[in-house]
Amino acid sequence: MSLAATIEIKGWCPGALRPMESGDGLLVRVKPWASALTLAQAGGLAAIAERLGNGHIDLTRRANLQLRGVAAQSLPELHRALGQLGLLDPDAEIEAARNIMVGPLAGAEGRAIAAALTEALSADRRLAAGLPAKFGWLVDAPGPLSIIGERADVALCLLPEGVALRVAGRWLGLASRDQIVSCLLAASRTCLDGRPMPSLAGMDSVPVPGRQRLGRIGDAFGIAAPFGRLEAGQLQGLVALAAKAGASELRLSPWRAVYLDAEIEGASALGLIEDGEDPLLRIDACPGSPACRAASVDARRDARRLAAWGFAGTLHVSGCAKGCARSAPADLVLVGGDGRYGIVRNGTARDRAQRTVEPGELATVLRG
């Protein structure tokens, strides 16, 4: 099977310049450069969310942020504010194509590659326009917080002997550092229309990626937001703690966790998670109803109830069959529909439900 045939063409994603209507107003996705925010940018986003939205901020699985509850008439002011923070793309086409996720511990080299890829996409408007809306790149190196194991159409891993390139889930070989951007563009065209890839050097293997952790990891300190939801006040409080500790930025991750370049104290008092064993970290839940028009159940309310009851495995509570909060299988999946939950075990939200229960009957699910 060709690499082009393995790429799944999915629906479009919202952006800042092309927001999406949701149950609580417009959903505006902000894509930080190199998956990182300065403290000024983070504080500015909190202020924008509070002033122009409903104060809800979501951390996404692609290391982006989503502002919720924005009114259509507020978009011009929102765009001006994002532009002043340096968080607005020149146009919607480049914004849609710039799905470049960078690891939270990535150094200057990884960020430079992401910046060069962005410039190349801006210059090659034909490629940018032709990419599927959810086509994504990933840039990282091995380490305790590596994101190499995350899904991406094109991924690269910085190694001492070269840059390993993965396309459509398959490691193809090593590129030299001076040719990596051209290889990334070639790999993108390969995924789209099957064009041949340039020859790459052979490689043995890519190191097994590290797992997500919180607390101190190398030079970074990680905290998580329950279900990836930050309130504007929480983000403002986190920025204040970061400034007090001498941090300079917030690095986003695909795990709905934020990593700072200094150790902070007091995050738990803000309602954030510092304990890597917190049961909420094993639960993925979308906003659900009434925030999302596709949902008929309050997914996050019910997820918190299940966490309090002590479910031991991984859990995905989805407001509908789209399964936006988690694509990987979970031990238990609850799929909302018509005000009830379909029950799936060891699967995804798209699998056939074994039975359905009312939200008030969820305790019976845990008993088997």
Beta carbons within 10 angstroms of residue 96's beta carbon: 23
The per-residue pLDDT for 213 is 83
The per-residue pLDDT for 273 is 93
Q: In this predicted structure, which of 37-46, 79-88, 297-306 has the lowest mean pLDDT?
A: 297-306
Q: In what order do the strands lie in the sheet with 137-140?
A: 100-102, 137-140, 154-159, 162-167, 170-175
The per-residue pLDDT for 167 is 85
Mean pLDDT of 320-326: 87
Interatomic CA distance for residues 293 and 365, integer angstroms:
26
Query: Looking at the predicted structure, is the pLDDT value of residue 200 above 80?
Result: no
Interatomic CA distance for residues 329 and 335, integer angstroms:
13
Interatomic CA distance for residues 135 and 326, integer angstroms:
17
Domain 279-366: homologous superfamily in CATH: Sulfite Reductase Hemoprotein, domain 1 (3.30.413.10)
Q: What is the pLDDT of residues 224-269, one digit of tens each?
A: 999 889 999 999 999 999 999 999 999 999 988 999 999 999 999 9
Mean pLDDT of 178-206: 78
Sign of the CA dihedral 215, 217, 221, 227? negative
The per-residue pLDDT for 42 is 98
The per-residue pLDDT for 257 is 92
Query: Looking at the predicted structure, is the pLDDT value of residue 196 above 90?
Result: no
Distance from first CA to last CA of the chain, Å, rounded?
41
- Binned at pLDDT 50, 70 and 90, residue 210 comes out as low
The per-residue pLDDT for 12 is 62
Q: What share of the chain is helix, strand, coil (3-state, %, to 5)?
A: 35, 25, 40
The answer to whether residues 349 and 328 touch, using CB atoms and an 8 Å cutoff, is: no
The per-residue pLDDT for 11 is 54
The per-residue pLDDT for 2 is 40
Q: Which residues pair with 220 in a beta bridge?
A: 217
Q: Cis omega before residue 290 (within 30°)?
A: yes
The per-residue pLDDT for 179 is 84
Query: Looking at the predicted structure, is the pLDDT value of residue 7 above 60?
Result: no
Beta carbons within 10 angstroms of residue 227's beta carbon: 23
Q: What is the pLDDT of residues 101-130, one digit of tens each?
A: 999 999 899 999 999 989 988 888 888 888
The answer to whether residues 250 and 42 touch, using CB atoms and an 8 Å cutoff, is: yes
Q: Residue 66 is encoded by which pair of tokens?
A: 């989503």
Residue 5 burial class via C-beta count within 10 angstroms: exposed 0-12, middle 13-18, buried 19 and up: exposed
User: Quick one: DSSP state of residue 297?
Assistant: S
Q: Residue 88 is encoded by which pair of tokens?
A: 């607005």
Distinct helix (H) and strand (E) counts, the chain? 9, 20
Q: What is the pLDDT of residues 139-175, one digit of tens each?
A: 998 888 889 988 898 899 999 888 998 888 888 889 8
Q: What is the pLDDT of residues 47-102, one digit of tens each?
A: 999 999 999 999 998 999 999 999 999 999 999 999 999 999 998 888 988 899 99
The per-residue pLDDT for 55 is 93
Provide the pairing of β-strand 137-140 with 154-159: parallel
Q: What is the pLDDT of residues 302-322, one digit of tens each?
A: 998 888 887 778 999 999 988
Query: Looking at the predicted structure, is the pLDDT value of residue 9 above 50?
Result: no
Q: Where are the domains of the chain?
A: 279-366
The per-residue pLDDT for 6 is 37
